[in-house]
Chain A
């Protein structure tokens, strides 16, 4: 075990290389979760649709994505689909987006179905079409209700982005392994990267809580 003084010293000295990895981790996470929210919304609407075909498509997508490891999905985009020559950043982002999209689809489906059916009836009784009432009445309420589990999924996505180290994307975790291998001081760098992730997660938890409070003020 490294001494605390050594750990602390290395933490302070190593920040330039870690900050580069940190920035990449944040970018991959935001890009992938943003895409995942759109994917999730579409598949949630597929799942609650009257159309059996759309239900089936959504069910297959969710079953396949949830039934296979994320690392396999990321490898398929980077090592599998070589003919497309997908850059590392995008292979990781698309893999994470498709993966989180399946979970977010279930989050949205649950929150949409949790809205009282009187809301849709009120909209329809005023002459709104199903689509219009969904867009103007149901989804804004469902989105608010989905916020806590979405925040949770964001944090899972943030931590899962460390898997991109295995396609040699120089994000946060890969900085730690590279530095550890270079200096033979693995434990110190692993502890440092753990601190980075922990602080990131705590900051995002705080932001999500603040956002929730602001949104619930009008409820």
Chain B
């Protein structure tokens, strides 16, 4: 088997909000083309861990290593690092004053200084890819939740990131709209995108995940291939969690 290169490594990561110790000595690695799914009860720290990976939250101690480079938030240009690590949010966070296409090309135009014609061409391709080629000139308020989230995915992809982070991408959606977003993510995984996904969708974790990581109380309790972790969890707490949700 070919050795896959390492995309993200987290070492002895600690993060506190005031007195609240949210992440406790987290170690995790994500290799190229891996889909790593973080599961756990709310408050277990999985979203915080994800946000530490693109430095929306800054760790208190430990290391976050992106593509072999240990990132020091004081010294590294985080704006450059974030261009390599795309993020999709629970509440989409589309820019309401911009059309769908403008949302997608905003960062390529202003951050990467891509020429407008080129950015629009690529933006339209991305929109077609997420199945929204006909919505380029529509404003976000005219879209359903599932469509909004697919635009958000296209917007993140427009920066051509090496890694994509998904923070509960389907949690704010009506049940009937979850499928379209998950299938877009599935496509992306098939193309070999490295993905870290915080989700409550166990079906997605089982089907698409290469690794499933169960977090509890700021620690990683268990990491395994989905088949093993779901059918024969080693830890009692993982069993308890799975039996409570499945």
Contacts and interface: CB of A to CB of B under 8 A. Distances in A.
A126 B93 contact: no
B86 interface: yes
Given A116-B93, A219-B96, A132 B82 contact: no
Contact of B111 (A119, A121, A132): A132
Given A121-B56, A219-B141, A128 B95 contact: no
B80 A127 contact: yes
B244 interface: no
Interface residues of B, number: 27
SS class, residues of chain A in contact with chain B: helix
Interface in B80-102: 80, 82-83, 85-87, 89, 91, 93-97
Contacts of A218: 97, 139
B56 A125 contact: yes
Contact of B96 (A123, A124, A129, A141): A141
B89 A118 contact: yes
B159 interface: yes
Given A118-B93, A141-B96, A219-B96, A127 B106 contact: no
Contacts of B93: 116, 118-119, 121-122
B89 A121 contact: yes
Contact of A126 (B96, B107, B141): B107
A52 interface: no
Interface in B172-228: none
Contact of A127 (B79, B89, B97, B152): B79
B136 interface: no
Contacts of A87: none
Contacts of A129: 79
A163 interface: no
B156 interface: yes
A137 interface: yes
B21 to A, nearest CB: 23
Contacts of A123: 107
Given A125-B156, A126-B156, A128-B107, A144 B97 contact: yes
24 contacts: A118-B89, A121-B56, A122-B89, A122-B93, A122-B94, A122-B95, A124-B56, A125-B85, A125-B87, A125-B89, A126-B86, A126-B111, A126-B159, A127-B79, A127-B112, A127-B159, A128-B110, A132-B111, A140-B97, A144-B97, A218-B139, A219-B97, A219-B139, A219-B141
Interface of A: 116, 118-119, 121-129, 132, 136-137, 140-141, 144, 218-219
